[in-house]
Structure 1
Amino acid sequence: MDKISLDKEIILNAAEEVIRRFGPEKANITDVAKSLKVSHAALYRYYNGKTDLWNAVTERWLSNLHVYSKDILNEDTPADIKLFRLLEDFAEAKRRSSINDPEMFANYLKLAQSSMDVIEKSIQDGINSIKDVIEQGIEEGIFFVEFPKQAAVAVYHATSAFIHPNSFEAVDRKQNIESVVNLLIRGLKNPNK
Protein backbone atom coordinates (compact mmCIF):
# COMPACT_ATOMS: atom_id res chain seq x y z
CA MET A 1 0.00 0.00 0.00
CA ASP A 2 1.26 3.45 -0.86
CA LYS A 3 2.02 5.45 2.30
CA ILE A 4 0.26 8.49 0.83
CA SER A 5 -3.08 6.68 0.93
CA LEU A 6 -2.69 5.76 4.61
CA ASP A 7 -5.21 7.43 6.93
CA LYS A 8 -6.81 6.79 10.32
CA GLU A 9 -9.81 4.95 8.88
CA ILE A 10 -7.62 2.54 6.90
CA ILE A 11 -5.49 1.91 9.99
CA LEU A 12 -8.58 1.32 12.15
CA ASN A 13 -9.96 -1.17 9.63
CA ALA A 14 -6.65 -3.03 9.54
CA ALA A 15 -6.34 -3.04 13.33
CA GLU A 16 -9.87 -4.41 13.66
CA GLU A 17 -9.06 -7.22 11.23
CA VAL A 18 -5.82 -8.03 13.09
CA ILE A 19 -7.69 -8.16 16.41
CA ARG A 20 -10.28 -10.47 14.86
CA ARG A 21 -7.59 -12.70 13.35
CA PHE A 22 -5.22 -12.97 16.32
CA GLY A 23 -7.40 -11.94 19.25
CA PRO A 24 -6.74 -8.91 21.50
CA GLU A 25 -4.06 -10.68 23.57
CA LYS A 26 -1.81 -11.63 20.64
CA ALA A 27 -2.50 -8.86 18.14
CA ASN A 28 0.04 -6.06 18.02
CA ILE A 29 0.84 -2.91 16.12
CA THR A 30 3.48 -4.69 14.03
CA ASP A 31 0.78 -7.05 12.73
CA VAL A 32 -1.28 -4.02 11.72
CA ALA A 33 1.70 -2.48 9.91
CA LYS A 34 2.43 -5.78 8.12
CA SER A 35 -1.18 -6.06 6.96
CA LEU A 36 -0.92 -2.56 5.50
CA LYS A 37 2.57 -3.21 4.06
CA VAL A 38 4.05 -0.24 5.91
CA SER A 39 6.56 0.09 8.72
CA HIS A 40 5.13 0.22 12.22
CA ALA A 41 6.76 3.67 12.49
CA ALA A 42 4.35 4.89 9.78
CA LEU A 43 1.44 4.14 12.12
CA TYR A 44 2.93 6.36 14.82
CA ARG A 45 2.18 9.41 12.67
CA TYR A 46 -1.49 8.67 13.31
CA TYR A 47 -1.52 6.92 16.70
CA ASN A 48 0.81 7.17 19.69
CA GLY A 49 1.31 3.43 20.01
CA LYS A 50 -0.76 0.31 20.53
CA THR A 51 -2.82 1.65 23.43
CA ASP A 52 -3.88 4.72 21.47
CA LEU A 53 -4.75 2.63 18.40
CA TRP A 54 -6.65 -0.01 20.40
CA ASN A 55 -8.57 2.74 22.20
CA ALA A 56 -9.56 4.23 18.83
CA VAL A 57 -10.64 0.80 17.56
CA THR A 58 -12.76 0.23 20.66
CA GLU A 59 -14.26 3.72 20.54
CA ARG A 60 -15.33 3.17 16.94
CA TRP A 61 -16.63 -0.32 17.79
CA LEU A 62 -18.72 1.10 20.65
CA SER A 63 -20.09 3.81 18.37
CA ASN A 64 -21.05 1.23 15.73
CA LEU A 65 -22.50 -1.02 18.42
CA HIS A 66 -25.01 1.68 19.31
CA VAL A 67 -26.05 2.71 15.78
CA TYR A 68 -29.50 1.21 16.35
CA SER A 69 -29.79 3.22 19.58
CA LYS A 70 -29.21 6.40 17.59
CA ASP A 71 -32.01 5.37 15.24
CA ILE A 72 -34.30 4.88 18.24
CA LEU A 73 -33.47 8.38 19.49
CA ASN A 74 -34.53 9.83 16.14
CA GLU A 75 -37.89 8.02 16.04
CA ASP A 76 -41.06 10.05 16.33
CA THR A 77 -42.46 8.05 19.25
CA PRO A 78 -43.58 8.96 22.78
CA ALA A 79 -40.76 9.12 25.31
CA ASP A 80 -41.88 6.14 27.39
CA ILE A 81 -41.85 3.83 24.36
CA LYS A 82 -38.58 5.32 23.14
CA LEU A 83 -36.94 4.87 26.56
CA PHE A 84 -38.09 1.25 26.77
CA ARG A 85 -36.62 0.47 23.34
CA LEU A 86 -33.42 2.38 24.06
CA LEU A 87 -32.74 0.60 27.35
CA GLU A 88 -33.58 -2.75 25.81
CA ASP A 89 -31.10 -2.05 22.99
CA PHE A 90 -28.39 -0.95 25.45
CA ALA A 91 -28.83 -4.27 27.26
CA GLU A 92 -28.81 -6.42 24.14
CA ALA A 93 -26.13 -4.70 22.01
CA LYS A 94 -23.13 -6.03 23.94
CA ARG A 95 -24.65 -9.50 24.33
CA ARG A 96 -25.20 -9.67 20.57
CA SER A 97 -21.63 -8.55 19.98
CA SER A 98 -20.24 -11.17 22.37
CA ILE A 99 -21.93 -13.79 20.18
CA ASN A 100 -21.46 -12.26 16.72
CA ASP A 101 -18.05 -10.57 17.15
CA PRO A 102 -16.31 -12.29 20.09
CA GLU A 103 -12.80 -10.99 19.33
CA MET A 104 -13.90 -7.36 19.33
CA PHE A 105 -15.97 -7.95 22.45
CA ALA A 106 -12.89 -9.48 24.12
CA ASN A 107 -10.90 -6.41 23.05
CA TYR A 108 -13.55 -4.21 24.68
CA LEU A 109 -13.36 -6.22 27.92
CA LYS A 110 -9.56 -6.01 27.93
CA LEU A 111 -9.71 -2.25 27.41
CA ALA A 112 -12.31 -1.91 30.17
CA GLN A 113 -9.76 -3.35 32.60
CA SER A 114 -6.89 -1.09 31.58
CA SER A 115 -8.15 2.19 30.12
CA MET A 116 -11.32 3.79 31.38
CA ASP A 117 -11.25 6.87 29.11
CA VAL A 118 -13.04 5.24 26.16
CA ILE A 119 -15.37 3.29 28.44
CA GLU A 120 -16.23 6.40 30.47
CA LYS A 121 -17.03 8.32 27.25
CA SER A 122 -19.36 5.51 26.17
CA ILE A 123 -21.09 5.54 29.58
CA GLN A 124 -21.55 9.32 29.40
CA ASP A 125 -22.95 9.01 25.86
CA GLY A 126 -25.46 6.45 27.14
CA ILE A 127 -26.45 8.62 30.09
CA ASN A 128 -26.86 11.64 27.81
CA SER A 129 -29.10 9.64 25.47
CA ILE A 130 -31.29 8.59 28.40
CA LYS A 131 -31.37 12.21 29.64
CA ASP A 132 -32.52 13.41 26.22
CA VAL A 133 -35.41 10.94 26.24
CA ILE A 134 -36.35 11.87 29.81
CA GLU A 135 -36.37 15.54 28.82
CA GLN A 136 -38.59 14.67 25.85
CA GLY A 137 -40.90 12.86 28.27
CA ILE A 138 -41.05 15.89 30.55
CA GLU A 139 -41.99 18.10 27.58
CA GLU A 140 -44.68 15.59 26.57
CA GLY A 141 -46.04 15.45 30.11
CA ILE A 142 -45.25 11.74 30.37
CA PHE A 143 -42.33 11.92 32.83
CA PHE A 144 -42.06 14.01 35.95
CA VAL A 145 -38.59 14.47 37.39
CA GLU A 146 -36.88 17.59 38.66
CA PHE A 147 -33.37 16.65 37.63
CA PRO A 148 -33.24 14.79 34.29
CA LYS A 149 -29.46 14.23 34.43
CA GLN A 150 -29.67 12.65 37.90
CA ALA A 151 -32.59 10.50 36.78
CA ALA A 152 -30.64 9.42 33.68
CA VAL A 153 -27.65 8.39 35.81
CA ALA A 154 -29.95 6.36 38.09
CA VAL A 155 -31.68 4.69 35.13
CA TYR A 156 -28.33 3.86 33.53
CA HIS A 157 -26.99 2.31 36.74
CA ALA A 158 -30.21 0.39 37.34
CA THR A 159 -29.91 -1.26 33.92
CA SER A 160 -26.12 -1.61 33.74
CA ALA A 161 -26.26 -5.11 35.22
CA PHE A 162 -27.66 -6.27 31.89
CA ILE A 163 -24.62 -5.11 29.91
CA HIS A 164 -22.31 -7.22 32.06
CA PRO A 165 -21.22 -10.53 30.48
CA ASN A 166 -22.29 -12.46 33.59
CA SER A 167 -25.92 -11.67 32.74
CA PHE A 168 -25.79 -12.82 29.11
CA GLU A 169 -26.68 -16.46 29.70
CA ALA A 170 -29.43 -15.97 32.30
CA VAL A 171 -32.48 -18.02 31.41
CA ASP A 172 -34.90 -15.24 32.38
CA ARG A 173 -32.76 -12.41 31.00
CA LYS A 174 -35.36 -10.90 28.64
CA GLN A 175 -38.07 -11.01 31.31
CA ASN A 176 -35.72 -9.41 33.86
CA ILE A 177 -34.79 -6.61 31.45
CA GLU A 178 -38.44 -5.90 30.70
CA SER A 179 -39.39 -5.94 34.40
CA VAL A 180 -36.63 -3.51 35.41
CA VAL A 181 -37.23 -1.16 32.48
CA ASN A 182 -41.00 -1.12 33.06
CA LEU A 183 -40.43 -0.39 36.76
CA LEU A 184 -38.09 2.50 35.91
CA ILE A 185 -40.51 3.97 33.39
CA ARG A 186 -43.39 3.78 35.89
CA GLY A 187 -41.16 5.62 38.38
CA LEU A 188 -40.51 8.41 35.88
CA LYS A 189 -44.11 8.83 34.77
CA ASN A 190 -46.17 11.77 35.84
CA PRO A 191 -48.66 10.46 38.44
CA ASN A 192 -51.35 12.79 37.04
CA LYS A 193 -51.40 11.04 33.66
Structure 2
Amino acid sequence: MPRPETDMEAKRQQIMEAADQIIQDKGAISFTMTDLAAAAGMSQSNLYRFFESKDALAEAMAGEWFADLEVIMRELVDADMPVEEKLFAFFARRLEIKRARFEEDPELFASYMELGDEHFEVIKGYVDLADHYMATILAEAMEAGYFKGLELDAVVSLVNTMMQPFCNPKLMMQMMHLATEDRLRQVIGTILTGLNANASQRAMDGKALHVVG
Protein backbone atom coordinates (compact mmCIF):
# COMPACT_ATOMS: atom_id res chain seq x y z
CA MET A 1 0.00 0.00 0.00
CA PRO A 2 1.41 3.44 -0.89
CA ARG A 3 2.35 5.62 2.00
CA PRO A 4 0.00 8.54 2.71
CA GLU A 5 0.93 11.73 0.92
CA THR A 6 1.27 13.55 4.24
CA ASP A 7 3.93 11.07 5.34
CA MET A 8 5.74 11.49 2.04
CA GLU A 9 5.75 15.26 2.40
CA ALA A 10 6.96 15.03 5.98
CA LYS A 11 9.84 12.82 4.88
CA ARG A 12 10.69 15.16 2.00
CA GLN A 13 10.81 18.03 4.48
CA GLN A 14 13.10 16.03 6.77
CA ILE A 15 15.41 15.31 3.84
CA MET A 16 15.52 18.98 2.84
CA GLU A 17 16.40 19.92 6.42
CA ALA A 18 19.26 17.40 6.31
CA ALA A 19 20.36 18.95 3.00
CA ASP A 20 20.33 22.39 4.65
CA GLN A 21 22.76 21.17 7.27
CA ILE A 22 25.05 19.47 4.76
CA ILE A 23 25.10 22.56 2.53
CA GLN A 24 25.96 24.68 5.54
CA ASP A 25 28.75 22.31 6.61
CA LYS A 26 30.24 21.35 3.24
CA GLY A 27 28.96 23.87 0.71
CA ALA A 28 26.41 23.34 -2.05
CA ILE A 29 28.82 22.06 -4.67
CA SER A 30 30.63 19.56 -2.47
CA PHE A 31 27.77 17.52 -1.10
CA THR A 32 26.43 14.44 -2.88
CA MET A 33 23.24 12.42 -2.74
CA THR A 34 25.29 9.73 -0.96
CA ASP A 35 26.07 12.28 1.77
CA LEU A 36 22.41 13.19 1.97
CA ALA A 37 21.23 9.60 2.27
CA ALA A 38 23.62 9.03 5.15
CA ALA A 39 22.56 12.24 6.91
CA ALA A 40 18.88 11.36 6.48
CA GLY A 41 19.43 7.83 7.81
CA MET A 42 18.29 5.96 4.71
CA SER A 43 19.71 4.07 1.77
CA GLN A 44 20.51 5.93 -1.40
CA SER A 45 17.90 3.92 -3.30
CA ASN A 46 15.29 4.94 -0.75
CA LEU A 47 16.37 8.58 -1.02
CA TYR A 48 15.71 8.45 -4.77
CA ARG A 49 12.06 7.61 -4.02
CA PHE A 50 11.72 11.16 -2.69
CA PHE A 51 14.17 13.04 -4.93
CA GLU A 52 15.26 11.40 -8.16
CA SER A 53 18.33 13.64 -8.52
CA LYS A 54 20.18 16.56 -6.99
CA ASP A 55 18.40 18.80 -9.49
CA ALA A 56 15.05 17.61 -8.15
CA LEU A 57 16.20 18.35 -4.62
CA ALA A 58 17.41 21.81 -5.66
CA GLU A 59 14.07 22.50 -7.33
CA ALA A 60 12.18 21.60 -4.15
CA MET A 61 14.46 23.76 -2.03
CA ALA A 62 14.11 26.63 -4.51
CA GLY A 63 10.35 26.24 -4.29
CA GLU A 64 10.50 26.75 -0.54
CA TRP A 65 12.87 29.71 -0.88
CA PHE A 66 10.61 31.49 -3.39
CA ALA A 67 7.21 30.55 -1.91
CA ASP A 68 6.80 33.57 0.37
CA LEU A 69 8.30 35.90 -2.23
CA GLU A 70 5.88 34.67 -4.90
CA VAL A 71 2.88 35.25 -2.63
CA ILE A 72 4.01 38.85 -2.06
CA MET A 73 4.43 39.52 -5.78
CA ARG A 74 1.11 37.94 -6.72
CA GLU A 75 -0.78 39.88 -4.05
CA LEU A 76 0.82 43.17 -5.04
CA VAL A 77 -0.04 42.78 -8.73
CA ASP A 78 -3.72 42.50 -7.75
CA ALA A 79 -3.59 45.11 -4.96
CA ASP A 80 -5.76 48.23 -5.17
CA MET A 81 -3.13 50.86 -4.37
CA PRO A 82 -1.28 53.67 -6.15
CA VAL A 83 1.17 52.27 -8.67
CA GLU A 84 4.01 54.31 -7.12
CA GLU A 85 3.50 52.58 -3.77
CA LYS A 86 2.95 49.24 -5.46
CA LEU A 87 6.32 49.41 -7.23
CA PHE A 88 8.06 50.38 -3.99
CA ALA A 89 6.36 47.57 -2.05
CA PHE A 90 7.25 45.07 -4.79
CA PHE A 91 10.91 45.46 -3.86
CA ALA A 92 10.62 46.54 -0.21
CA ARG A 93 8.62 43.54 1.03
CA ARG A 94 10.94 41.04 -0.63
CA LEU A 95 13.97 42.97 0.61
CA GLU A 96 12.68 42.61 4.16
CA ILE A 97 12.40 38.83 3.85
CA LYS A 98 15.83 38.43 2.25
CA ARG A 99 17.48 40.64 4.85
CA ALA A 100 15.89 38.63 7.68
CA ARG A 101 17.12 35.37 6.15
CA PHE A 102 20.61 36.77 5.71
CA GLU A 103 20.79 38.09 9.27
CA GLU A 104 19.46 34.82 10.70
CA ASP A 105 22.20 32.73 9.08
CA PRO A 106 24.63 34.45 6.68
CA GLU A 107 26.54 31.23 5.95
CA LEU A 108 23.42 29.29 5.00
CA PHE A 109 22.25 32.25 2.91
CA ALA A 110 25.55 32.21 1.02
CA SER A 111 25.31 28.44 0.56
CA TYR A 112 21.88 28.79 -0.99
CA MET A 113 23.33 31.27 -3.46
CA GLU A 114 25.97 28.68 -4.32
CA LEU A 115 23.25 26.08 -4.81
CA GLY A 116 21.39 28.48 -7.09
CA ASP A 117 24.52 29.02 -9.19
CA GLU A 118 25.05 25.29 -9.52
CA HIS A 119 21.44 24.68 -10.56
CA PHE A 120 20.57 27.94 -12.29
CA GLU A 121 18.37 26.27 -14.90
CA VAL A 122 16.23 24.99 -12.03
CA ILE A 123 15.61 28.43 -10.55
CA LYS A 124 15.42 30.34 -13.84
CA GLY A 125 11.66 29.85 -13.92
CA TYR A 126 11.29 31.68 -10.61
CA VAL A 127 13.49 34.53 -11.85
CA ASP A 128 11.41 34.81 -15.02
CA LEU A 129 8.23 34.80 -12.93
CA ALA A 130 9.52 37.73 -10.86
CA ASP A 131 10.25 39.60 -14.09
CA HIS A 132 6.70 38.87 -15.26
CA TYR A 133 5.16 40.31 -12.09
CA MET A 134 7.44 43.35 -12.25
CA ALA A 135 6.56 43.90 -15.90
CA THR A 136 2.86 43.85 -14.99
CA ILE A 137 3.38 46.63 -12.44
CA LEU A 138 5.59 48.63 -14.79
CA ALA A 139 2.94 48.36 -17.51
CA GLU A 140 0.45 49.79 -15.03
CA ALA A 141 2.87 52.65 -14.36
CA MET A 142 3.11 53.29 -18.10
CA GLU A 143 -0.67 53.54 -18.28
CA ALA A 144 -0.45 56.15 -15.51
CA GLY A 145 1.90 58.25 -17.66
CA TYR A 146 5.36 57.13 -16.57
CA PHE A 147 8.26 56.07 -18.85
CA LYS A 148 7.08 58.13 -21.83
CA GLY A 149 8.54 57.09 -25.16
CA LEU A 150 9.93 53.76 -23.93
CA GLU A 151 8.81 50.22 -24.73
CA LEU A 152 7.91 47.92 -21.85
CA ASP A 153 10.81 45.53 -22.54
CA ALA A 154 13.26 48.44 -22.35
CA VAL A 155 11.74 49.64 -19.07
CA VAL A 156 11.94 46.14 -17.54
CA SER A 157 15.59 45.82 -18.55
CA LEU A 158 16.54 49.25 -17.21
CA VAL A 159 14.69 48.82 -13.92
CA ASN A 160 16.21 45.37 -13.45
CA THR A 161 19.67 46.87 -13.85
CA MET A 162 19.06 49.71 -11.42
CA MET A 163 17.39 47.56 -8.77
CA GLN A 164 20.08 44.87 -8.46
CA PRO A 165 21.32 46.00 -4.99
CA PHE A 166 17.77 45.59 -3.66
CA CYS A 167 16.78 42.27 -5.24
CA ASN A 168 19.87 40.27 -6.28
CA PRO A 169 20.68 38.15 -3.20
CA LYS A 170 24.36 37.70 -4.14
CA LEU A 171 24.88 41.43 -4.55
CA MET A 172 22.86 42.14 -1.41
CA MET A 173 25.29 40.07 0.65
CA GLN A 174 27.97 42.65 -0.16
CA MET A 175 25.74 45.73 0.07
CA MET A 176 23.22 44.83 2.78
CA HIS A 177 24.15 47.92 4.81
CA LEU A 178 23.31 50.12 1.81
CA ALA A 179 20.11 48.33 0.73
CA THR A 180 17.82 50.25 3.09
CA GLU A 181 14.17 51.10 2.59
CA ASP A 182 14.96 54.84 2.60
CA ARG A 183 17.46 54.39 -0.22
CA LEU A 184 15.02 52.13 -2.03
CA ARG A 185 12.27 54.74 -1.89
CA GLN A 186 14.67 57.36 -3.29
CA VAL A 187 15.70 55.07 -6.14
CA ILE A 188 12.08 54.20 -6.97
CA GLY A 189 11.22 57.90 -7.00
CA THR A 190 14.12 58.64 -9.31
CA ILE A 191 13.12 55.84 -11.67
CA LEU A 192 9.51 57.02 -11.87
CA THR A 193 10.31 60.68 -12.37
CA GLY A 194 13.44 60.42 -14.49
CA LEU A 195 13.19 57.30 -16.64
CA ASN A 196 11.87 58.22 -20.08
CA ALA A 197 12.98 58.22 -23.70
CA ASN A 198 14.43 61.73 -23.55
CA ALA A 199 16.44 60.98 -20.40
CA SER A 200 17.73 57.74 -21.90
CA GLN A 201 18.84 59.55 -25.04
CA ARG A 202 20.58 62.23 -23.01
CA ALA A 203 22.44 59.53 -21.06
CA MET A 204 23.56 57.88 -24.30
CA ASP A 205 24.66 61.21 -25.74
CA GLY A 206 26.63 61.96 -22.56
CA LYS A 207 28.32 58.59 -22.74
CA ALA A 208 29.26 59.18 -26.37
CA LEU A 209 30.76 62.58 -25.53
CA HIS A 210 32.73 61.00 -22.69
CA VAL A 211 34.14 58.34 -25.03
CA VAL A 212 35.09 60.97 -27.63
CA GLY A 213 36.70 63.16 -24.96
Q: Shorter-chain TM-score: which interval?
A: 0.7 to 0.9
The equivalent residue for 1:94 is: 98
Structure (1 or 2) with the larger CA radius of gyration: 2
Residues in 2 aligned to 1:5 and 1:41: alpha-carbon distance in whole angstroms = 19
1:148 is aligned with what amino acid?
L
CA displacement 1:107-163 (0-9 Å, x = unmatched): 421213322123432321221111001122233445545422331222122111223
Residues in 2 aligned to 1:155 and 1:178: alpha-carbon distance in whole angstroms = 14
The equivalent residue for 2:136 is: 132
Mind listing any 5+ residue stretches in structure 1 that lack a counterpart? none
Identity rate of aligned residues, in percent? 22
The equivalent residue for 2:127 is: 123
SS in 2 for 1:169: coil
The equivalent residue for 2:76 is: 72
Alignment of structure 1 residues 35-114 onto 2, 5 Å: 38-100=42-104, 102=106, 105-114=109-118
Mind listing any 5+ residue stretches in structure 2 that lack a counterpart? 199-213
Residues in 2 aligned to 1:145 and 1:11: alpha-carbon distance in whole angstroms = 54
Residues 55 and 118, structure 1, Cα contact 8 Å, conserved in 2: yes
Distance 1:42-1:3 versus aligned 2 partners, 3 A rule: farther
Residues in 2 aligned to 1:52 and 1:183: alpha-carbon distance in whole angstroms = 41
Q: CA RMSD in A?
A: 3.2
Task: Give the total of aligned pairs.
Answer: 186
The equivalent residue for 2:10 is: 10
2:16 is aligned with what amino acid?
E
**Higher share of residues assigned helix:** 2
Residues 11 and 32, structure 1, Cα contact 8 Å, conserved in 2: no
Report the alpha carbon displacement of residue 3 of structure 1 after superposing the two structures with TM: 6.3
Residues 59 and 123, structure 2, Cα contact 8 Å, conserved in 1: no
TM-score in terms of structure 1 length: 0.75
Report the alpha carbon displacement of residue 67 of structure 1 after superposing the two structures with TM: 2.6
Report the alpha carbon displacement of residue 52 of structure 1 after superposing the two structures with TM: 2.5
